[in-house]
Amino acid sequence: MKAELKQKPQQILDFIKAYRDEHDYPPSLREIGGATGIASTSHVTYYLDQLEEKGYIARDNRISRGIQLLGAAEPFAHAAEEVVSVPYLGYIVASAPISVEPLPGDETVEISRALFGRDTSDLFALTVQGNSMIDALINDGDMVIIRQQERVENGQMAAVWLDDPGETTLKKLYYEGNQVRLQPANPTMEPFYEPAENVRVQGKVVMVIRQMG
């Protein structure tokens, strides 16, 4: 039974939020009192104790402005959890293996966590250069988000480096004995086969993003 906050405590909570938004640090007891029409600091403490009791805030003893907004209150912490920041590493081209060296200036791409599975580690983003991956329904200029890993499960789309022709490509992989079937994502195109030792998985393709003017 989560009782509604009465006016005063609610007012205080709102003020703390607003103050933090403006100053980037929490208010002092006297500032809270001044803004909410409370004359005594002990009176402010009185309400702050209630707010802490009910889990709206946390306080650090004897530390000035030591107030933290919890759960229901904090807007930023929320937003941060709903978005994944994926480092952007430049280009993926057919003629060279993927390089995973971070760019100077650490650019990132933010995308809703909801669009990913639970595992959002080891991700990076690349821009596809060239039309050689059209058979994967991927165009020149598309952005692919890849999870770095050295093997994928049957049927998953992977970025692979083929030793023999010496090129990077994106295909669905099916392990069939000591051969690998590389299946274009475009169902109108035919698969081809490579010996397993010729196929180096660079990562699993997790997402493709195409921007259009």
Q: Which is nearer to its own copies, 60 or 163 (CB)?
A: 60
Active site (annotated) includes residue 85: no
Catalytic residue among 64, 132, 172, 204: 132
Nearer to its own copies, 4 or 197 (CB): 4
Residue 45's binding partner, choosing from its own copies, DNA, none, with beta-carbon cut-off 5 to 8 A by kind?
DNA
* Distance in Å, CB of 110 to its own copies, minimum: 5
103/100 Cα distance (integer angstroms): 9
Could you say which of DNA, its own copies, none residue 52 binds, taking C-beta under 5 to 8 angstroms by partner kind? none
* 65 makes contact with its own copies (CB under 8 A): yes
Bridge-based pairing state of the strands 83-93 and 123-129: parallel
What sign for the dihedral angle of Cα 51, 54, 56, 60? positive
Which DSSP helix (H) or strand (E) runs through 90?
Answer: strand 83-93
Q: Which residues, numbered 170-189, are part of the site for its own copies (CB under 8 A)? A: 185-188
Chain position carrying tokens 């000035």: 64
- In angstroms, the CA 163 to CA 198 distance is 5
Judged by CB, which is closer to DNA: 53, or 101? 53
Residue 82 makes contact with its own copies by CB under 8 A? yes
Nearer to its own copies, 16 or 38 (CB): 16
171 is catalytic: yes
CB of 70 to DNA, least distance (A): 17
Strands (E), 15-139: 57-59, 67-69, 83-93, 108-112, 123-129
> What is the DSSP secondary-structure string of 127-180?
EEESSTTGGGT--TT-EEEEEE-S---TT-EEEEEETTTTEEEEEEEEEETTEE
* Kind and range of the H or E run holding 182: strand 179-183
Query: What is the set of active-site residues?
Result: 132, 171
Give the binding site for its own copies (CB under 8 A): 23-26, 28, 60, 63-69, 74-76, 79-80, 82-83, 85, 108-112, 114-117, 131, 134, 137-139, 143, 156-157, 185-188, 204-213
